[in-house]
Amino acid sequence: MNALISQWTTPFGLPPFAEIKDADFAPAFDAALDQARANIAAIAEATEAPTFANTIAALELAEALLDRVAGVFYNLSGADSNDTREALMRDLAPKMSAFSSEVTNNKALFARIETLWQERDKLNLDPEQLRVLTLYRRMFVRSGALLEGDAADRLTAVKSRLAVLGTQFGQNLLADEREWFMPLAEDDLEGLPDFVVDTARAAGAERGQPGPVVTLNRSLIVPFLQFSPRRALRQKAYEAWVARGANGGAHDNRAIAAEILALRHERANLLGYDSFADFKLEPEMAKTPQAVRDLLMRVWQPARAKAESDARVLEAMLHADGISGPLEPWDWRYYSERRRKAEHDLDESALKPYLSLEAMLAAQFDCANRLFGLEFRPIDGPFYHPDVRGWEVTRDGAHIAVFLGDYFARASKRSGAWCSAMRSQRKLGGDVRPIVVNVCNFAKGDPALLSYDDARTLFHEFGHALHQMLSDVTHGFISGTSVARDFVELPSQLYEHWLEVPQVLEAHARHWQTGEPMPADMLERLLAAGTYDQGFATVEFVASAMVDLEFHVGSPPADPMQKQAEVLEALGMPRAIRMRHATPHFAHVFSGDGYSAGYYSYMWSEVMDADAFAAFEEAGDPFDPETAKRLEKFILSAGGSEEAEELYVKFRGKMPGVEALLKGRGLLDAA
């Protein structure tokens, strides 16, 4: 019996993780693809006239088994990879792309969709059905359904190759992150807080080393760069971190990035667009590359001015230490941390005992309860890894979702943090409730203590999770986070604001040993430093977003690294700051199509999240019930049932300007 395709009798319909073997995945995908093909053929070849029910609704359910198998596999392949799963990912990339092209190239199927589209005004469709029909037709057209002959065949080949390259890019990056580490002698631990030392020792044990090591995991390397007074070690670690994917050999991503950009441009041209950015941005809120560029440059100028001013202060500190020469990228975090301690009397090693993972989980759940009435009850596994924890989510006693949290870094997990759904919400074919997963890469400890940035990440991903859990639509095609890419970050970035609410930290930021609340003066200093170093953070983000945009506007660069350098030079990139994600490890852009020509979307959403939280401030209560109800109704539960701008205007009354973003980042005075 193959557990993946057998009937699941587990609580809440969770995957039976203990019964699933790696050997089950390939035959399960084969069976699921066969079933999906048969279902779609039956829809396309039906002799009955097309109706919404026998065409669109039938398509919604045609791939149910495939969705189930893929929901398990792709979550595991990102969060707990191994050689077998990586090999299968490489095999599946062209196979899944070919299946997708088969569907969208099916002329008989598209003819039925087109008939419904042309007759839509006569079909008595409700608003959600009309929206789903519109999006299905748009998806087919943008996938090449109107192409014929050689053009259609070439587009299929291009998409298949892109799927292979994206998988290879991500696996190369994971390999570099998994293989590099820097051993530390005992005297190399000088100046490091206990939590960094403990994390380095745990990382060494995981890598089979006799002593502590620094790895390329952000939750270890960033605090090492913040606290280590040993400049040579900082430089070695930093240069390894930014060189991921560009070390030569089998794992080098530079040629892959060039081929991806060329193929994306060809794909856009085949579909009648001048550039991939024009193609990609058309269905987003931004619509055009110029709109993206205008936003980024509006923020770039004040951010760069602030960063240059900060750099002068940090360089003076460097020189005061007797080090000649300019401030380097591996110096910034070290001197910035010292400056923060001096100016705000904030020491991260003193903060972290009040920000345990357990305390911050309680805080995120408490906020969700006060805003939306959600309750979280721990449930037992087994789940897909011993580190994973689970909760049943209920409201007024009714089951809402299952929430899984996978919080600790390990060599089998790709870097970063993300939210995914093993199962999405829908009502078609039965009331299907979601299984939502938050994945982070925090340093494991006993207890696990978070930085304030880690806590912000925790809240961010939980905002995505709420978007999935509170989804309330009929059709899975528009469920949860199935929205415009530059809108999808609104719920996540908005939820971060509740971490800054004093009463939340007063209640939950308690010392893990004594239970004492964070001292009032420390809390005050923490919140006062909320915009500290935002020149640096904004510059490294906007630089990445501008490089991404310019990669996809106009002809593709023959040498992406040269193009990256040209874009940064034109921007006037401060020498002591690098892009947040250099091209060879820019997984957002090259591991898949999601954020390609779309990395700007975090900032586009930030314009809205600052304004959205202001709605609570204007109501005089960060937990104002009426504002929370509007937020759930028009944003969190609506999925993609309407255009993003229409939903936001229903919630807030109008679209905001960039001023709220600049104010939130402390850059308004520099604008």
Catalytic residues: 461
Instruction: Give the residue carrying structure tokens 């990912």.
Output: 89
Q: How far apart are alpha carbons 247 and 253 in whole angstroms?
A: 9
- The single-letter code of the amino acid at 492 is S
Contacts of 477 by beta carbon, 8 Å cutoff, 6+ apart: 60, 132, 135, 136, 640
CA 555 vs. chain centroid, Å, equals 28
Contacts (Cβ under 8 Å, ≥6 apart) of 533: 310, 336, 340
d(CA 573, CA 571): 5
Answer whether 590's CB lies under 8 Å from 552's CB: no
Cβ atoms within 10 Å of 16's Cβ, excluding its own: 15
C-alpha dist (Å) from residue 312 to 189, 308, 335: 28, 6, 11
Identify the helix (H) or strand (E) that includes residue 389.
strand 389-395
Q: What is the 3-state secondary structure (H, E, C) of 208-276?
A: CCCCCEEECCHHHHHHHHHHCCCHHHHHHHHHHHHCCCCCCHHHCCHHHHHHHHHHHHHHHHHCCCCCH
- Chain position carrying tokens 């939130």: 664
390 forms beta bridges with 379, 404
In angstroms and rounded to an integer, the radius of gyration of the C-alpha atoms of the chain is 25
The count of other CB atoms within 10 Å of the CB of residue 40 is 19
How would you list the strands of the sheet with 398-408, edge to edge? 375-379, 389-395, 398-408, 435-442, 418-423
8 Å CB contact between 471 and 419: no
- In whole angstroms, give the CA distance from residue 515 to residue 507: 11
Per this entry, what is the length of the chain? 671
Q: Which pair of tokens denotes residue 534?
A: 């935002």
Tokens for 88? 């299968």
Task: Determine the Cα–Cα distance for residues 65 and 29; give it in Å rounded to an integer.
Answer: 9
Q: What backbone phi and psi angles, to 5 degrees, belong to 399?
A: -70, 130
Asked if 372 and 466 count as a contact pair (C-beta separation under 8 A), the reply is yes
In DSSP terms, 376 is beta-bridged to 393
> Distance from first CA to last CA of the chain, Å, rounded?
64
